[in-house]
Structure 1
Amino acid sequence: MSLSIARPVLAGLSAALLTGAVLPPAAAHAALREAPACATPLAPVRPVDATPWPQQRYDPTRLTPLTTGAGVTVAVVDSGVDRVHPQLAGRVRAGTDLLDPGGDGGRDCAGHGTGVASIIAATPRSGIAFHGLAPGARILPVRVSEQQVVQGRESGRTVSADEFARAIRWAVDHDADVVNLSVVLYADDPQVRSAVRYALDRDVVLVAAAGNLHDSGNPRPFPAAYDGVLGVGAIGVDGARATFSQIGAYVDLVAPGSDVLVAAPRQGHQRVEGTSYAVPFVAATAALLRSYRPELTAAQVVQRIVATADPAPGAGQGGGYGAGVLNPYRAVTETGGGATAPRSVAALADDRADPVLLARQERRATAQDRALAVGAVIGTVAVAVVLLALVLPRGARRRWRPADPA
């Protein structure tokens, strides 16, 4: 089945919704005329203190001595980001609202953007195990949608494709280093394509959802299908591709996207699924890399993330896994970014060599090499100074003069 939808749709699902349904164009057009207010207030949820499975797999605290993403800005082009949540307070910059002009992106009627942002940059809190993979990064919210699931159906306002393209350009022009696009268009729009090129030409990493319409024929998702954009599919706790996650050449790698714990607007946490929530794990990894290795270009960051993915069943063979499963530790700590011995796709971080220790050893070796090089230069200069001190006085006594150029 082929769809042609020229409006961005959020690529997240509720735990009870696995259809990946999108808002029909006619309904979306009518929704654009609705009053700028949250049609359905989000129900309050409680904090969750248990450690979510993606965090068991990636354990962000093991990367903290190396990098937290500090100094890097990740734009979240989504439903807005609620900066009031205790784990996002102080991490969210003033952004923009293209759905309701005049806003700064801090209102989230769907909870989608807040959840995405929390996977990236939620800060640790006492009594709460969950926190983001790059808690030192800053979030730049760009509000383009308020879609949410109401009585089992996805509905809500969203911007046009042209406005979505403008959102990408706005993020780039406001110093985003990484742009998280947990949204999907099922039509190749020239304005969006141009905005993607605009971002890539300015050395920005773009990460996008592969979409949730596997059962509807895997229609080609954009921006994920554009060259230079990292397309991300979803896996579950067993390491297998989530049933809704689309299959195609646009899937560059996969990350956790089923039964994922995220922050909810205002306070508390909720469990969600969809390729939407796989994207921020990859965007956070890009932020970690851009902070730890600032000399790398966006293209090099993308290459390292793909090259260091863990093997997965059918990886590289059209099985919906792309190059494999995201591995932030290898992306940050491996110097070559090449292949290593295969690991089980469901292996947890505790089964792997300590990346902190490996990185420290590498940095110490580099420091020793630099010290030797500096010592050699200093020694050479010292010898030269001594020789000059001996030779120049003698030359003066013998009345040496420069040769006459004539």
Structure 2
Amino acid sequence: MKLLIGLLTAALLGPVPAQAPAARAPAPCRNPPAPGQPLPDGAPRDPMIARLGLERAWELATGAGITVAVVDSGVDGNQPKLRGALAAGFDFVASQTPPGWQRVAGGLGDCGDNGASHGTAVAALIAARANDDDRVVGVAPGATVAPVRFVDGIDNAAPEMIANAIRTGAELGQVLNLSFAVPVDRPVIRDAVQYALSRNVVVVAAAGNESSGGDEKFYPAAYPGVLAVAALKQDGTPLAQSNRGDWVGIAAPGEGLTAPVSGGGYAGVSGTSFATALVSGVAALVRSRYPAMPAADVVKRLTATAVPLGAAHDDRVGAGIVDPFGALTVLGPALPAPSASGAPAPAAGRVRVLPLPDTGGGVAERWGSLLGIVGILILAAVLAYLGRLAWRAARHRRTRPHPGRPTDDPLDPPDISLA
């Protein structure tokens, strides 16, 4: 199976020469990423679409009307798969004057992560459009991404800058994707996450790729109220470098994913950053279908419908692998108030699940119908019992002993005992 998936990944990417990078935003990047590769003409559809059951999920919601703020390295606005998917964002740039950074309008242009296209891949896994090629599509292709960019890289960002970027993201979207992890609990970052939660934002964060044994926590994923995401290999087992702990909430595929990247092409990506993007996309689907649902209930819904990978809750994978269709359809207390027809009121343009026709009256009429049915059954049982007694009496008269006939007539068997 792994060999087949490996061959498919190779077919999707193929050994095709890289294209020239697209034009970048005015704000310069210190370490711009290398461009991706185009998909070969004969490459099949991304298997992740079938693996997550996205075709069924898209019949119910596409993420339309929902903005996902991506606090990351920025997004290449020239990536064709993100055409029509980007909202106005912001740049955070280091400054020599207090407070040591500046926030300016921007967000476009991927400043990379050690030469890799990080923010663009995250944004595309969330909301890439089909456009003229549906072989690679984001989890929520109707959602919008608002990029919040660290121009000089998050590794060089002070805690106060990170905190303000989180606050900015919380003001831009209903879902906040934080595909980074730090091993220190910074109060200023903790307060920024709390600010996002207070604004009814679903906060999804990467568990991190430090291969921890579970004794240390990584933030912001480990903060209360944040949905921490672990990564899975292609065979469904935990990715070796994915951090573990009782604070991990859910898991998603995080190895060999095909993502649109900076420069207009594609690349294979792995890690908890990209598993987090998939979960953020599912959160956007749920928020699109149930716009009145509180953020905390969205998180509960995602974990309650996750497919367990062993124990009910595991430090490596949390509640299990995310299930988009299950999260959109499960019945439970997290559903919004029913409409007048008795069915949940879906967002406009979504598939509506109609209730069964109500052929009866109120509660009294329905109880009356039920009692009538029970009465008929009791009457039938009584008549059957009386008929049995009459039949046995007749047989007794027919089979009374006669001279020369044995009393153990084989035609009169004993009563059957229901053991």
Whether TM-score is above 0.5 comes out as yes
- Cα gap change, 1:253 to 1:126, in 2 (>3 Å): same
Q: What pairs up with 1:224-263 in 2 under 5 angstroms?
A: 224-263=221-260
1:143 is aligned to 2:149: yes
The residue type paired with residue 164 of structure 2 is R
Shift of 1:44: 4.4
Q: 1:283 and 1:196 mapped to 2: Cα distance?
A: 16
Residue of structure 1 equivalent to 2:162: 164
Residue of structure 2 equivalent to 1:4: none
Q: 1:260 and 1:327 mapped to 2: Cα distance?
A: 17
Shift of 1:271: 0.2
Match of 2:89 among 95, 99, 108: 95
The residue type paired with residue 34 of structure 2 is L
Contact persistence 1:181–1:209 (CA under 8 A): yes
Shift of 1:313: 2.6
Shift of 1:146: 5.4
Residue of structure 2 equivalent to 1:364: 354
Match of 1:277 among 274, 285, 292: 274
Shift of 1:232: 0.3
1:122 is aligned to 2:119: no
Give secondary structure in 1 for the equivalent of 2:80: coil
Gaps of 5+ in 2: 1-8, 10-26, 95-101, 335-349, 363-419
Contact persistence 1:212–1:275 (CA under 8 A): yes
Q: Which moved more, 1:296-305 or 1:210-219?
A: 210-219
Give secondary structure in 2 for the equivalent of 1:239: coil
Q: 2:36 and 2:289 mapped to 1: Cα distance?
A: 37
Give secondary structure in 2 for the equivalent of 1:304: helix
Match of 1:197 among 166, 176, 194: 194
Shift of 1:210: 0.4
Q: 1:263 and 1:146 mapped to 2: Cα distance?
A: 22
The residue type paired with residue 104 of structure 1 is G
Give secondary structure in 2 for the equivalent of 1:282: helix
Contact persistence 1:42–1:109 (CA under 8 A): no
Residue of structure 2 equivalent to 1:105: 107
Residue of structure 2 equivalent to 1:349: none
- Cα gap change, 1:211 to 1:41, in 2 (>3 Å): closer
Contact persistence 2:53–2:325 (CA under 8 A): no
Contact persistence 2:213–2:243 (CA under 8 A): no
Deviations 1:60-96 (A, max 9, x none): 2322221111000100000001121111011101100
Shift of 1:214: 1.1
CA RMSD of aligned residues (A): 2.7
Q: 1:249 and 1:196 mapped to 2: Cα distance?
A: 19
Contact persistence 2:68–2:280 (CA under 8 A): yes
Gaps of 5+ in 1: 1-14, 16-34, 148-155, 339-358, 374-406
Q: 1:298 and 1:322 mapped to 2: Cα distance?
A: 19
Residue of structure 2 equivalent to 1:29: none
Shift of 1:247: 1.0
- Cα gap change, 1:315 to 1:268, in 2 (>3 Å): farther
Q: 1:199 and 1:40 mapped to 2: Cα distance?
A: 30
Shift of 1:239: 0.8
Contact persistence 1:218–1:246 (CA under 8 A): no
Q: 2:191 and 2:305 mapped to 1: Cα distance?
A: 29
Match of 1:303 among 300, 303, 319: 300
Q: Sequence identity, in percent?
A: 39
Deviations 1:231-265 (A, max 9, x none): 00000121110111111012101001111111111
Q: 1:137 and 1:92 mapped to 2: Cα distance?
A: 9
Shift of 1:222: 0.2
Asked which structure has the greater RCO (Cα within 8 Å, sep 6+), the reply is 1
Q: What pairs up with 1:4-403 in 2 under 5 angstroms?
A: 36-47=28-39, 49-99=43-93, 101=102, 102-110=104-112, 111-144=117-150, 147=153, 158-174=156-172, 176-214=173-211, 219-318=216-315, 320-336=316-332, 363-365=353-355, 368=357
Q: 2:185 and 2:319 mapped to 1: Cα distance?
A: 24
The residue type paired with residue 169 of structure 1 is R
Q: 1:242 and 1:81 mapped to 2: Cα distance?
A: 26
Q: 1:270 and 1:115 mapped to 2: Cα distance?
A: 8
Give secondary structure in 1 for the equivalent of 2:252: strand
Contact persistence 1:211–1:275 (CA under 8 A): yes
Shift of 1:333: 1.0
Q: 2:105 and 2:30 mapped to 1: Cα distance?
A: 14
The residue type paired with residue 58 of structure 1 is L
Contact persistence 1:119–1:262 (CA under 8 A): yes
Instruction: Count matched residues.
Output: 308
Q: 1:287 and 1:40 mapped to 2: Cα distance?
A: 29
Q: 1:168 and 1:127 mapped to 2: Cα distance?
A: 33
Give secondary structure in 2 for the equivalent of 1:363: coil
Q: 2:32 and 2:85 mapped to 1: Cα distance?
A: 26
Deviations 1:179-230 (A, max 9, x none): 0000111100011110111111111000000011115776311001000000
Q: 2:187 and 2:304 mapped to 1: Cα distance?
A: 30
- Cα gap change, 1:216 to 1:249, in 2 (>3 Å): closer
Question: Deviation above 4 Å: which 4+ runs of structure 1?
Answer: 215-218
Give secondary structure in 2 for the equivalent of 1:254: strand
Contact persistence 2:89–2:147 (CA under 8 A): yes
Contact persistence 2:214–2:245 (CA under 8 A): no
Residue of structure 2 equivalent to 1:379: none
Deviations 1:163-187 (A, max 9, x none): 111011112223x100000011110
Contact persistence 1:108–1:146 (CA under 8 A): no
The residue type paired with residue 330 of structure 1 is G
| Structure exhibiting the larger radius of gyration computed from Cα positions | 2
